[in-house]
Structure 1
Amino acid sequence: MSVLSTGLGQRLVSASTEAAAFTELPVISLARLNGSAEDRKALAAEIQEACISSGFFYISDHGVPQQVIDDAFGQAKKFFAQPMDKKMLVDLHKGTSFKGYAGLKGENVDPANRGDVHEAWDMGDDSQLMKEGAGSGNLWPPAEDLPDFRPTLQHAWDEIMALGKRLLPIFSLALGLDEHYFDEKTRNPGSVMRILHYPPQFGPVDLREIGIGAHTDYEIITLLLQHGDVQALQVLNSQGEWVQAPPKPGTFVLNLGDMMQRISNGLFKSTVHRAINRTGQDRMSLPFFFGLDYDALVEVLPTCVTAERPPAYEPIKAGDYVQQRLSETYVKAPPTESATAPAA
């Protein structure tokens, strides 16, 4: 076992590179999301149990059209297949909002590692990013190179953002709150969507250089799409052991971020996870990190405090927390090494 430092303290982690099948990871249908009050309460109870036990579960019947998902991955494949000089036109270091392209080992979520073996392109809400003091906006590839990239990724953003907003009332119920608790905190959510390419790794395993190192996410919830059937995602269980979260057609993986653990006073788990691609195939994924308004205060909820369980976290503005974690993640030098382009 080793100790991993995260934004929420230290976690005990197995040193093994292998992972067992995570058969307990539930698949929760959202078919009751727009049902009666009793339907929503039952769904909230099911989600509450998953949030307490693991902080990771699949959601089905989510309402995001499969064509939107397929189109987004199609554009991701075209983006990552470009020559490095084209990708570097939108190098994130050209802006101030951590948006744009990060090359191979351009990020390092685990300070003990040597860099994450993936490349990525990140986007946010342009109107939110361009607010005074928020930094620069998105860095889009030139339309002459990828004419369908921006409209396709923006459409995916809109659909997944809408899904996140539909989910928050259920999380409010799961936290013992009024369904509309998050409304005033998510008028302009400080969210991020990424496309990620993980080239396969061969040879001896070095845990200091894997697809993405062990980490927790920063925001309220993450909605993750895994492309195809390439297994890479591993989740840390309560015993400090790594377990697999394989792709399941028609689902998102939903996991909780640090903000959810903070406001729930540790009752809901922001679970450590990582990705190791040893399949011999290229892997792509699309995570959407759904956050609070950057000026919203992240503070422990009264419903999650008792005499035996006093508040464990100090209040902090959502934007300040995300900025702090991002600054710890990205390497300062622009990437100089290209990853292998995804197979056609």
Structure 2
Amino acid sequence: MRSGGLDPRRTSFDEIPIIDLEPMFSGDAEAKADLAAKLRKACAEVGFLYVRNHHVPQAVIDSTFAAAHTYFAQDDAAKMRNHVSLSRNNRGYAALLEENTDPTARGDLHESYDIALEVPADDPDVLAGKVLYGPNQWPEGQAAFRAALEAYHAEMLKLSGHLLHAFALALELDETYFDSMVSKPLATLRVLHYPPQFGEIDDRQIGIGAHSDYECFTILAQDAIPALQVLNTAGEWIAADPIPGCFVVNIGDQMARWTNDLFASTVHRAINRSGRERYSIPFFFGPNYDTVVEALPSCIDADHPAKYPPIAAGDYINGRFAATFAHYGAAQEKAAAGDAA
């Protein structure tokens, strides 16, 4: 195996690498191979990277940030009309402190609105109880908000396909290796609003507590306000400040499991000390609900047996959501009781 084989080298990095994605759009095989080697190194050593030349129109990004500003400026009563507790599948609004990504902390200082793949209520997977599939909640009378988020979600699906092809090459697999596993992905778009924190800050209550992401990877758009920090192997928090024209991409826990920990799902957090409101747009991409996540053939050998038992992607995410979102387990219990009645 190239690039250090299956023994990953974790570094006490002091900056986040930048990867140019243009080869995944140009089709040049030699340029793709060079990109794949750089991507493998970034994912094995850091687990975070910036991507440029991603081909997502800036107008789509700007519209979604504008929609987030307008939405979160509403009063609490208006936002609570689409609270996530009204959704069986974790879609809608969540208020300050309702999420707790770090179980040792006291809640995250952000509010959010989540959508995912739009799946009709009468879809066979929804009727079969695969609760991460289903329809989105949408605020009444806010067509511009819905249009902006749906356009952004569609662009993220396209970009995720290109990224998956790059990951496959980086893992010495056929470029289309993952395609059949993401025909109906668990792909969540979230818009986030972080109020500023002033004075002495309790590290148990920050914008978002220290955590790793659950899915295969996350694509993050940031506004101009710095807040994101990434933990290196020396225990230092490294800034992942916004770079114009770039998304931040980080490896999630499912990809770490898929790669038998060759790729790092790196702990990160956000603290908004800017004195201004901060907005960000993460997109969490994972495979189909029933896709079994188990060590990839290129990530195991006699000296590197599989570390994790196989698990369906949906079952894995369900378990993580239940541990993170106070409303999620209650919504599932309520739905189950209704189904049994």
Q: Judge same fold: TM > 0.5, yes or no.
A: yes
Alignment of 1:186 onto 2:182: yes
Per-residue CA distance 1:25-78 (angstroms, 9 max, x = gap): 111111111331111111111101100110101000000000000000000000
Deviation readout 1:118-146 (Å, 9 max, x if unpaired) = 00000001117752213442111112xx2
The answer to whether structure 1 residue 142 and structure 2 residue 133 are counterparts is no
Q: Is 1:104 aligned with 2:99?
A: no
2:79 pairs, out of 74, 83, 87, with: 87
Contact 2:15 2:239 in 1 (8 A): no
How far residue 151 of structure 1 moved from its aligned partner, in angstroms, is: 1.0
Cα separation, 1, equivalents of 2:19 and 2:255:
19
Separation of aligned partners in 2, 1:291 and 1:183:
12
For 2:71 and 2:14, locate their aligned partners in 1 and report how far apart those are by CA, in whole Å. Answer: 34
1:149-186 C-alpha deviation (Å, 9 max, x unpaired): 11111001001110001111110011111111101100
SS at match of 2:24: coil
Q: Map Cα deviations across residues 252-281 of structure 1 (whole Å, 9 max, x no partner).
A: 000000011001000000010000111101
Separation (CA, whole Å) in 2 of partners of 1:99 and 1:112: 25
Mapped partners of 1:175, 1:91: distance in 2: 40
| 1:220–1:258 contact (8 Å) kept in structure 2 | yes
Contact kept in structure 2, 1:213 and 1:274, CA below 8 Å: yes
- Partner residue, 1:313: 308
- Displacement, 1:307? 2.2
Q: How does 1:40-79 map to 2 (within 5 A)?
A: 40-79=32-71
Asked if the contact 2:93–2:114 (Cα under 8 Å) also holds between the matched residues in 1, the reply is yes
Inter-partner Cα distance in structure 2 for 1:238 and 1:291? 26
> What secondary structure, in the 3-state scheme, does the structure 2 residue paired with 1:309 have?
coil
Give TM-score, length-normalised by structure 2: 0.88
**1:271 — aligned with what?**
266
1:115-154 matches, cutoff 5 A: 115-127=107-119, 131-132=126-127, 133-135=129-131, 136-143=134-141, 146-154=142-150
Q: Distance in 2 between matches of 1:134 and 1:76?
A: 29
Which residue number corresponds to residue 248 of structure 1? 243
2:84–2:327 contact (8 Å) kept in structure 1: no
CA distance in 2, matches of 1:320, 1:306: 27
- State yes or no: 1:167 paired with 2:158: no
Q: How does 1:208-219 map to 2 (within 5 A)?
A: 208-219=204-215
Q: Which amino acid aligns with 2:45?
A: S
2-structure distance, mates of 1:30, 1:169: 11
Alignment correspondent of 2:337: none
Measure how far apart 1:147 and its partner are.
2.6
Q: Greater share of helix residues, 1 or 2?
A: 2
CA contact (8 A) 2:257 2:295 kept: yes
Query: Could you tell me which of 135, 152, 157 is aligned with 2:153?
Result: 157
Say if 1:69 and 1:156, in contact at 8 Å, map to a contact too.
Answer: yes
In the TM superposition, what is the alpha-carbon distance from 1:23 to its structure 2 partner?
5.1
Residue-pair matches, total: 311
Q: Is the 8 A contact 1:128 1:188 kept in 2?
A: no
SS in structure 2 of the partner of residue 33 of structure 1? helix
Alignment-mate amino acid for residue 73 of structure 2: A
Q: What's the % identity of the aligned pairs?
A: 47
Aligned to 2:20: 29
Inter-partner Cα distance in structure 1 for 2:229 and 2:120: 32
Structure 2: any 5+ residue segments left out of the alignment?
1-11, 329-341
Say if 1:128 and 1:134, in contact at 8 Å, map to a contact too: no
Q: Distance in 1 between matches of 2:190 and 2:277?
A: 16
Q: Which residue of 2 aligns with 1:327?
A: 322
Instruction: State the superposition RMSD in angstroms.
Output: 1.7
Conserved 8 A contact 2:15-2:238? no
Which residue among 276, 281, 294 is the counterpart of 1:281?
276
Q: 1:228-268, CA deviations, whole angstroms, 9 ceiling, x for partnerless residues?
A: x2110000111121111000011100000001100100000
**Aligned equivalents of 1:77 and 1:204: distance in 2?**
27
- Tell me, yes or no, if structure 1 residue 299 matches structure 2 residue 286: no
Q: Give 2:83's aligned amino acid.
A: D
